[in-house]
Amino acid sequence: MNRRVTTLDVEALSAQYGRIRVVRDFSEQLVAGEVLAVLGPNGAGKSSLLGAIAGVVAGSGRVTVNGCEVGDLPAYRRVRAGLALVPEVRGNLFPTLTIRQNLSVPRVGADGSGSREERIDLVLTLFPRLNQMLDRTCSALSGGEQQMVAIGMALMADPVALMLDEPSQGLAPAVLLDVSAAVRRLAETGLSIMVTEQNHAFAADMADRYLVLNGGATTGRGTAADLSDREALAAAYLGEGA
């Protein structure tokens, strides 16, 4: 896939809970095969941003997926358009079902077509440690294994843009390596990926570039290489001119 093709275009997006606006006028584009890390402290609006893009948090603004405007569509229709979200709390897992059963729940392919077995094979290729535990219930899995299954469920829909909310939270260092490697492999297939994170080293391992969200607004941005520059990163957190 041509890396110059814009797969996700977000324009002047705001998100709110009741009268409280938590994301303000966010605009960003992702091209095919690109990984964008959205950094920021707790309460910065990162999860709300992804929720508004996915349609599970009330918001306003324009969201376009593969040239199709989805901002007025409910969440399930945004999934069909090619947009997938893995929430921070792994809220899309069914704990009493096995890994195999969880992977069989989502609609296969954004248009409902495609082979379920082919999609499961992709998930197992990305996360080979799941191969030997397909019939284990998800409640018996470690946090890292649950994260792998959650990402796998999102991939069953064959999305063009994938959003991961704080995927490193509570994971062991060895599992972080597995997840970051999987993200890079997915990007190489042309998938666009937006990841919210507080772990800067983890973000640097997989992202092409980053932006900082603070107080619901973008306060800075840079390349993954800039994440090792503490002064540049501090300025991004504090805002331009800090």
Q: 217: which strand partners?
A: 214
Q: What is the mean pLDDT of residues 194-208?
A: 93
Region for residue 159 given its phi and psi (left: phi exceeds 0; alpha: psi -120 to 50; beta: otherwise) = beta
Q: Is the model's pLDDT at 3 over the cut of 80?
A: no
Q: What is the tens place of the pLDDT at every residue in 23-76?
A: 999 999 999 999 999 999 989 999 999 999 999 999 999 999 999 999 999 999
- Of the given ranges (122-131, 184-193, 222-231), which has the lowest mean pLDDT? 222-231
d(CA 200, CA 219): 16
Q: Is the model's pLDDT at 241 over the cut of 70?
A: no
| Per-residue tokens: 108 | 């296969």
pLDDT for the residue 1? 43
Strand residues in the chain grouped as ranges (E): 6-17, 20-31, 35-39, 59-65, 68-69, 83-86, 161-165, 192-197, 209-214, 217-223
- Band the pLDDT of 107: cuts 50, 70, 90: confident
- Of the given ranges (84-93, 97-106, 188-197), which has the lowest mean pLDDT? 84-93
d(CA 150, CA 144): 10
pLDDT for the residue 113? 55
| Domains by residue range for the chain, with CATH | 6-91+159-238 (3.40.50.300)
Q: What is the tens place of the pLDDT at every residue in 150-167?
A: 999 999 999 999 999 999
Q: 177: which strand partners?
A: none
Question: Looking at per-residue confidence, does 91 or 145 come out higher?
Answer: 145
- Of the given ranges (3-7, 32-36, 49-53, 96-100), which has the lowest mean pLDDT? 3-7
Computed over every residue of the chain, the mean pLDDT equals: 90
Q: What is the mean pLDDT of residues 15-22?
A: 91
User: In a 10 Å sphere around its CB, with 0-12 CB exposed, 13-18 middle and 19+ buried, how is residue 89 labelled?
Assistant: exposed
Q: What is the mean pLDDT of residues 114-135?
A: 91
Q: Is the model's pLDDT at 180 over the cut of 60?
A: yes
Specify the pTM. Answer: 0.91
